[in-house]
Structure 1
Amino acid sequence: MLHLSILLYYLVAWGCYFQYLSEWNKYADDENVMAVTYEELKENRVVGVKNIAAFLGISMTEAELQSVVERSSFQSMKKHSEKTHGTFGEVLFRKGGVSDWKNHFSEDQNEKMDKAFEEHMRGTKLGTKLKYEVYCKA
């Protein structure tokens, strides 16, 4: 499936990944838009939850914060995925890591992805937020 997506110009289930990012990049500076990456939540979920709550104007007690942090862990979401996402949960909640796609792409596919990212996202606000050099570059 990953090989097919490369051949189809980096298509995801809802369209071209880079067109999707480019569209959202237009709104990256809007005051009512907050972009959050999975990688940054993996780095520090507590800070991520605090930032999201602040953005939404929600105050939380320490107990509420800890509850959200625990319930938003990959393990917790995977455990409850059948209730929350039906059978599609098995597809969405695989391993919970970052950068695993590198294990599935060929060297040529990695090079094409790097080139496409450079072409479409280098220097954009969302491109920077994705930390491509850290999490994506092969």
Structure 2
Amino acid sequence: MEIPDSSLMKQLSRPELFDFEGVSMVQYFTDNWEKVKNFQARPDDILIVTYPKAGTTWISYILDLLYFGNDAPERQTSQPIYMRVPFLESCFKMMPPGTELADNLPTSPRLIKTHLPVQLVPKSFWEQNSRIVYVARNAKDNAVSYFHFDRMNMVQPEPGDWNTFLQKFMEGKNVFGPWYDHVSGWWEKKLTYSNLLYMFYEDLVEDTGRELEHLCSFLGLSTPIEEREKITKGVQFDAMKQNKMTNYSTVPVMDFKISPFMRKGKVGDWKNHFTVAQNEQFDEVYKQKMKNTTVKFRTEI
């Protein structure tokens, strides 16, 4: 896929949000729903789950290197991450749907990513007892990242200005529904489903090596320490931002003139965006929405 040309950008009209089984969605994630719903998982599949802009590509790349970094070095240089780790519910005109890409993956295990809230995940993943890695990011940084992503991604609804977007975020009117329901729904699932590892973006930023160790023990991998150190170096934000196979610069629907797909990858960048009033309002809403869950986040490290 070539770098996008502006004519393609102009032809794309931004999608409208609509309610889909109680969750805000756009057609690009519902057009192939029958196949998504009936997707056949396998016991050795690893499903990567995040709310959008919570470290999806990061964790995908880490897992890809853990499993296939040594066997197939050319895979790392010739195939973009979104082909190696298909986006299950995606249905974009410019490439095969995610279900088809996943079905055709030659690897074992298959690494598959999704942004679906817990109640919409194909039931075969539970039936097969597939392993699931969930990454959650604090709401303030997640909102900022999602805002910049929506500005540059033509297959997302028009975000409006920062204040407009933030109000929508607090109301849960984003693609894939409310952040609050997503992170707490998956947190609850962990209580009854033991094959789920729940990770935090902030922990990954603070100490990637330590989190890599947790990941290996969850997956039953005995990756040698020098291999883990090499991976830790390779997945640092600046390295991935420069890497054409992980930085999404080959995707024709993203306008890098507006913002890069990988912007900062920091914890606490929300402080550069929230006004005092916005922050106070956000904290109020947050307290309300999160009062029934025990999941706790750090907004700085």
Secondary structure of the structure 2 residue equivalent to 1:48: helix
- What are structure 2's unaligned runs of at least 5 residues? 1-160
- CA shift digits 1:45-90 (9 cap, x unpaired): 110100011111111111211121111211111111x322523585
C-alpha separation in 2, matches of 1:6 and 1:69: 33
Aligned match of 1:131: 298
Aligned match of 2:285: 116
- What are structure 1's unaligned runs of at least 5 residues? none
Question: % of aligned pairs identical?
Answer: 25
Normalising by structure 1, we get a TM-score of: 0.79
C-alpha separation in 2, matches of 1:27 and 1:98: 26
- Higher relative strand content: 2
- CA shift digits 1:89-137 (9 cap, x unpaired): 85441112111112111222111221122112246332x2x235xx39x
Change (3 A) 1:125 1:58: farther
Shift of 1:21: 1.8
| Aligned pair partner of 2:215 in 42, 52, 70 | 52
Contact 2:247/2:262 (<8 A) preserved = no
Highest RCO, 1 vs 2 (Cα 8 Å, sep ≥ 6): 1
Normalising by structure 2, we get a TM-score of: 0.39
Establish whether residue 70 from structure 1 lines up as the match of residue 233 from structure 2: yes
Establish whether residue 83 from structure 1 lines up as the match of residue 245 from structure 2: yes
Aligned match of 2:275: 106
How many residue pairs align between the two structures?
Answer: 131
Shift of 1:39: 0.8
Which stretch has the larger CA shift, 58-67 or 27-36? 27-36
Q: Kindly provide the amino acid, as one letter, of the partner of residue 120 in structure 1.
A: K
Shift of 1:19: 2.1
Change (3 A) 1:94 1:67: same
